[in-house]
């Protein structure tokens, strides 16, 4: 009877330890997309550090095309958005970044950077709104030209100080949004600390 009790106790301990520990399969048993993703992301980040944003986007886009629907393909979409919003990217486009972020956030499947993507999407919206408001404010102060005929738009006599203050306020808001984006970009560019999540 003592032997049976020991065996039952060992079975309970083994079952409990299996319930608490998640064992990752060896690398060769994981999907190809999961195995290739770390080196793909490292390559894209290396291109960014060289200032080659188009090359980084091409690396990530190629990966997503090879493994559509994979969790890693969604992650590549997130990184493409982040690189599209980088102020140092001469081809940066808030509209493109917003499209990537919208695609990344679609669905209920887990996303590694969901919280960051929501924050970046909000920032992209603020930048876009700020640019639109700034363009409207500048257009209000300009004369309209139609073909070769100049048409002076009648304007009420605005307070020049108020107009300048509005343009300055919009520029300040845009600068704050860009600074927040840069802060998030720097934080995300840091290597992860701690063991990788299963």
Report the mean per-residue pLDDT for the chain: 78
Contact 66/34 with Cβ under 8 angstroms?
no
Rounded Cα distance between 183 and 189, Å, is 10
Alpha carbon separation from 188 to 4, 50, 114, 121 (Å, rounded): 54, 17, 13, 15
3-state class (DSSP) for residue 34 = helix
Listed residue (193, 198, 189) closest to 42, CA to CA: 189
The fraction of the chain above a pLDDT of 90, given in percent, is: 30
CA dist., res. 31 & res. 36, Å (int): 9
* Structure confidence at residue 51 (pLDDT): 93
pLDDT, average across residues 176-185? 78
Residue 159 and residue 102: Cα distance in Å, rounded? 41
Report the predicted TM-score, pTM, of the whole model to 2 decimal places.
0.59
**Residue 145 backbone dihedrals phi, psi, to 5 degrees:** -115, 130
Q: Which helix (H) or strand (E) holds 128?
A: helix 114-141
More confident residue, 160 or 195: 160
Which tokens sit at 123? Answer: 């920032």
- Of 168, 169, 190, 172, nearest to 180 (Cα)? 172
pLDDT, tens only, 39-52 = 999 999 999 999 99
pLDDT of residue 55: 95
Confidence class for position 84, pLDDT limits 50, 70, 90: very high
pLDDT classification of 137: cutoffs 50, 70, 90: confident
Dist CA 35 CA 32 (whole Å): 5
What phi and psi, each to the nearest 5 degrees, are found at residue 111? -125, 135
Q: What is the DSSP letter of 159?
A: -
**C-alpha–C-alpha distance, residues 86 and 185, integer Å:** 8
- 7 pLDDT band, cuts 50/70/90, is low
């Amino acid at each position: 009877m003592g032997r049976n009790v020991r065996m039952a106790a060992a079975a309970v301990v083994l079952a409990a330890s299996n319930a608490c520990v998640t064992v990752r399969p060896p690398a060769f048993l994981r999907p190809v997309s999961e195995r290739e993703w770390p080196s793909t992301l490292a390559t894209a980040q290396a291109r960014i550090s060289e200032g080659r944003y188009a090359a980084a986007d091409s690396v990530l886009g190629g990966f997503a095309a090879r493994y559509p629907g994979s969790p890693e393909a969604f992650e590549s979409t997130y990184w493409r958005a982040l690189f599209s919003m980088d102020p140092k990217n001469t081809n940066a486009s808030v509209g493109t970044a917003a499209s990537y972020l919208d695609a990344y956030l679609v669905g209920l499947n887990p996303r590694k950077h969901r919280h960051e993507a929501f924050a970046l999407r909000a920032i992209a919206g603020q930048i876009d709104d700020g640019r639109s408001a700034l363009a409207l404010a500048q257009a209000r102060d300009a004369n309209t030209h139609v073909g070769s005929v100049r048409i002076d738009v009648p304007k009420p006599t605005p307070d020049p100080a108020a107009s300048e203050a509005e343009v300055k306020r919009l520029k300040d808001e845009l600068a704050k949004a860009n600074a927040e984006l840069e802060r998030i970009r720097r934080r995300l560019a840091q290597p992860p600390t701690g063991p990788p999540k299963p």
